[in-house]
Amino acid sequence: MPTLFDPVVFGAIEASNRILMAPLTRTRGSADHVPTAIMAEYYVQRASAGLIISEAIGVSRQGLGMPYATGLWRSDQVEGWARITEAVHNAGGRIVAQIWHMGRMVHPSFVDGAAPVSSSATTAPGRAHTYEGRTPYAVARPLEAEEIAAIIEDYRKAARNALRAGFDG
């Protein structure tokens, strides 16, 4: 019978043990959503887990509305994540990217005052974390049917960028 410390295979990923690090959104990137050196240190400290699931990483500017969170839609973000994945791999770890679009949780201050997008005109409960402090959420704008393809493409691009950055999945 396998133990927690025995290797395991998740698809194409061979993990050294059965310990998975759940995603924790750390918000330690730059104000321009680029990964930082302290993030590499954080993940390397946890590289002995069989598999690390990264913090949530934005697929686009439209879909990221949290201060100091990171993205995967620009080359400088890919380069920042590449430094992290290389450090994790050098420490013997495996890491996959958790990508997201925050939808109605995006505050207009992150998107030049534009309304957040969602499936319907709803407002998220509570208050948004912004660079100016806690602020009420805004009413989301329902996506038009023809806009859905662009968001799907944002996910595709972020997934390709995650692989370019060296994520294992």
The pLDDT score that the predictor gives to residue 92 is 97
Given the DSSP bridges, would you call strands 51-58 and 95-100 parallel, antiparallel or unpaired?
A: parallel
The pLDDT score that the predictor gives to residue 33 is 97
The pLDDT score that the predictor gives to residue 1 is 84
3-state secondary structure of 141: strand
DSSP string, 60-118: SSTT--STT--BSSSHHHHHHHHHHHHHHHHTT--EEEEEE--GGG--GGGTTTPPPEE
The pLDDT score that the predictor gives to residue 26 is 85
pLDDT tens for the 169 residues of the chain, in order = 899 999 999 999 999 999 999 999 889 999 999 999 999 999 999 999 999 999 999 999 999 999 999 999 999 999 999 999 999 999 999 999 999 999 999 999 999 999 999 999 999 999 999 999 999 999 999 999 999 999 999 999 999 999 999 999 9
